[in-house]
């Protein structure tokens, strides 16, 4: 079965994807929209979803066959059922009408940005102050978001808003899928410690969103948001952000290759560090495999919430060891290896801060997985408008 699938996908790719020039066969430049539409139409963007929703109804193991074929050819558009948070959330929570209206457009466009964090609401996301006020069958949105990754490119964002100031903070939130390309949305890039500017400030002034675009229920957005954030943390637990990531199938891990290249495997102290780092990465991968099996069997796995926290230790640790392997030459951004090590050292904070900090992850694991007594949230049960802020 998977051999059939493999040759089918490969045949399809060979017919349509020009892997030498990285574009669709018969085109002069890569055009994302038309290529993505082609992939979506073939069902390869979201193979684990039902045919009705642009998928092929395949298992995740079969989906991996498709992804591999795409990846080895450098073809884009695979794995949107794993990485396109906006589409995933609409697929899981949207009504059939909303799915019909938006899913295809989302899948064939750039990924959605996440309009969650605000200057005053980071770890305490339920403290969002961006207002959405009902006006006919639309909502008028005003507020400021911050740290919004990919807001420049995004055509849609998933937006957390305050819709009831008198309710307790978790009760007065509404979650939208929000059109970014409209008057009243201003995006200002922020320079990041990695040298990138992928996240932004987003100023929203009387922008509009249809009430059809509510994800879940009005004033019950916190609940639907939990689904979206869980998907995000699952992705981060796989550690896709660092340059020096895990190993491609059958290849030696990147850290080991670096150590080998620079003769560090002769050093008994570094050997210990490297072995431990590789072990942390492998143990996490094994845990995540087990989580996947448990999910398939039981629909849920408590292990899945450990991955993102584990990945922080892995990424910070590997970056430090890379620096040690390079020695003082790491001070100079003059080689690819030094650039990568310095980039990864900074980027590791994306994992340990973004998507919920390590401290918050530990609280979640302790309280939701272990069932330890919840810590006090003095702002939990009072009307939102009475909460103290710094």
Partner 1 sequence: MLEFSGEERQAICDTFDRVLSDNANEEALRKLIETESGFDNSLWQKMAELGLTGLMVDPDYDGIGANIQEAEALMEVAGKYLYSGPFISSCVVAPVLLQASSNLSMVGPHLKNIASGNSIFAIAGCGQSGDWTEPPTVNAIQNADGWELSGSAHFITHALTASHCLVIANEGGERAVFLVDMHDYSVPAKYQSTDDKTLRLSNITFNGTQALRLEDVGEQQIAGALHLALIALAGEQVGGMRAMFEITIQYLNTRFQFGEPIGRFQALKHMAADLLVDVESASTVARIAAQAMASGSGDSVLLTYLAAFTCADNFRKVTADAIQLHGGIAYTMEHPAHLYWRRAQTGQWLYASSDKCRDLYLLEMEAKL
Ligand X SMILES: Cc1cc2nc3c(=O)[nH]c(=O)nc-3n(C[C@H](O)[C@H](O)[C@H](O)COP(=O)(O)OP(=O)(O)OC[C@H]3O[C@@H](n4cnc5c(N)ncnc54)[C@H](O)[C@@H]3O)c2cc1C
Residues that bind ligand X (CB under 6 A): 113-114, 116-117, 122-123, 147-149, 199, 349-350, 353-357, 359-360, 363
- Give which of ligand X, partner 1, none residue 356 binds (C-beta under 5 to 8 Å, depending on kind): ligand X
| Cβ distance to partner 1 smaller for residue 108 or 117 | 117
Does 149 bind partner 1 (CB under 8 A)? Our answer is no
| Cβ distance to partner 1 smaller for residue 221 or 354 | 354
Instruction: Report, in Å, the least distance between residue 190 CB and ligand X.
Output: 10
| Cβ distance to partner 1 smaller for residue 43 or 120 | 120
- In the list 75, 323, 325, 344, the residue contacting partner 1 (rule: CB under 8 A) is 323
Does 100 bind partner 1 (CB under 8 A)? Our answer is no
- Give which of partner 1, ligand X, none residue 148 binds (C-beta under 5 to 8 Å, depending on kind): ligand X
- Give which of partner 1, ligand X, none residue 268 binds (C-beta under 5 to 8 Å, depending on kind): none
Query: Beta 131-135 vs 17-18: how paired, if at all?
Result: unpaired
226 CB-near residues (< 8 Å, 6+ apart):
none
- In the list 19, 71, 150, 379, the residue contacting partner 1 (rule: CB under 8 A) is 379
| Cβ distance to partner 1 smaller for residue 95 or 335 | 335
| Cβ distance to partner 1 smaller for residue 249 or 269 | 269
Phi first, then psi, for residue 23 (nearest 5°) are: -155, 170
Binding mask 331-370 for partner 1 (x = CB under 8 A): xxxx---x---x--xx--xx-xxx--xxx--xx-------
The helix (run of H) or strand (run of E) holding residue 13 is helix 2-16
Contact 117, 145 (CB under 8 A): yes
Contact 309, 361 (CB under 8 A): yes
CA–CA distances in Å: residue 251 to residues 162, 185, 245, 247, 357: 48, 45, 12, 6, 31
Contact 70, 77 (CB under 8 A): yes
C-alpha 66/C-alpha 109 separation (Å) is 20
Query: Beta 156-162 vs 113-115: how paired, if at all?
Result: parallel
Instruction: Report, in Å, the least distance between residue 314 CB and partner 1.
Output: 15
| Cβ distance to partner 1 smaller for residue 99 or 316 | 316
- Give which of partner 1, ligand X, none residue 317 binds (C-beta under 5 to 8 Å, depending on kind): none
- Give which of partner 1, ligand X, none residue 53 binds (C-beta under 5 to 8 Å, depending on kind): none
Contact 133, 123 (CB under 8 A): no
Query: Among all chains, which residue has been given the structure tokens 């998907």?
Result: 231
CB atoms within 10 A of CB 1: 9
Please count the residues of this chain forming the interface with partner 1, following the rule CB under 8 A: 49
Query: Beta 113-115 vs 17-18: how paired, if at all?
Result: unpaired
- Give which of partner 1, ligand X, none residue 91 binds (C-beta under 5 to 8 Å, depending on kind): none
- Give which of partner 1, ligand X, none residue 390 binds (C-beta under 5 to 8 Å, depending on kind): partner 1
Burial 302-318 (b: 16+ CB within 10 A, else e): ebbbbbbbbbbbbbbbb
CA–CA distances in Å: residue 284 to residues 80, 246, 248, 295, 341: 23, 11, 16, 16, 21
- In the list 10, 67, 101, 120, the residue contacting partner 1 (rule: CB under 8 A) is 120
Instruction: Report, in Å, the least distance between residue 256 CB and partner 1.
Output: 20
Query: Among all chains, which residue has been given the structure tokens 């209206």?
Result: 101
Does 124 bind partner 1 (CB under 8 A)? Our answer is yes
Residues that bind partner 1 (CB under 8 A): 117, 120-124, 127, 146-147, 190-193, 199, 269, 316, 323-324, 327-334, 338, 342, 345-346, 349-350, 352-354, 357-359, 362-363, 375, 377-380, 387-390
């Amino acid at each position: 079965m998977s051999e059939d699938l493999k040759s089918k996908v490969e045949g399809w790719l060979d017919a349509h994807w020009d892997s030498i020039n990285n574009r669709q066969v018969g085109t002069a430049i890569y055009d994302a929209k038309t290529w993505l539409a082609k992939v979506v139409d073939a069902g390869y963007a979201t193979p684990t979803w039902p045919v009705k929703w642009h998928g092929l109804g395949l298992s995740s193991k079969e989906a991996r066959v498709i992804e591999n074929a795409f990846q080895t050819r450098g073809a884009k558009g695979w794995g949107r059922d794993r990485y396109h948070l906006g589409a995933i959330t609409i697929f899981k929570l949207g009504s059939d009408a909303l799915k019909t209206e938006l899913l295809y457009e989302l899948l064939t466009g750039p990924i959605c940005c996440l309009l969650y964090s605000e200057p005053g609401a980071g770890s305490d996301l339920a403290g969002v102050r961006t207002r959405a006020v009902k006006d006919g069958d639309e909502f008028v949105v005003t507020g400021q978001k911050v740290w919004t990754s990919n807001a420049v490119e995004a055509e849609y964002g998933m937006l957390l808003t305050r819709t009831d100031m008198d309710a307790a903070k978790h009760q007065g939130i509404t979650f939208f899928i929000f059109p970014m390309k409209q008057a009243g949305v201003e995006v200002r890039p922020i320079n990041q410690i990695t040298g990138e500017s992928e996240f932004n400030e987003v100023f929203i002034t009387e922008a509009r969103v249809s009430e059809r675009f509510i994800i879940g229920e009005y004033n019950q957005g916190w609940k639907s948001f939990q689904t979206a954030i869980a998907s995000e943390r699952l992705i981060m637990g796989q550690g896709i952000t660092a340059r020096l990531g895990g190993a491609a199938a059958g290849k030696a891990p990147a850290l080991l290759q670096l150590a080998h290249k620079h003769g560090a495997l002769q050093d008994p102290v570094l050997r210990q560090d490297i072995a431990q780092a590789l072990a942390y990465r492998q143990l996490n991968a094994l845990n995540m495999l087990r989580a996947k099996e448990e999910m398939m069997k039981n629909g849920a796995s408590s292990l899945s919430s450990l991955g993102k926290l584990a990945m922080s230790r892995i990424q910070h640790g590997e970056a430090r060891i890379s620096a040690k392997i390079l020695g003082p030459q790491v001070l100079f951004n003059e080689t690819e290896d030094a650039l990568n090590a310095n980039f990864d050292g900074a980027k590791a904070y994306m994992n340990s801060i973004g998507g919920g900090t390590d401290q918050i992850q530990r609280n979640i694991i302790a309280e939701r997985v272990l069932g330890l007594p919840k810590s006090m949230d003095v702002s939990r049960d009072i009307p939102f408008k009475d909460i103290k802020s710094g």
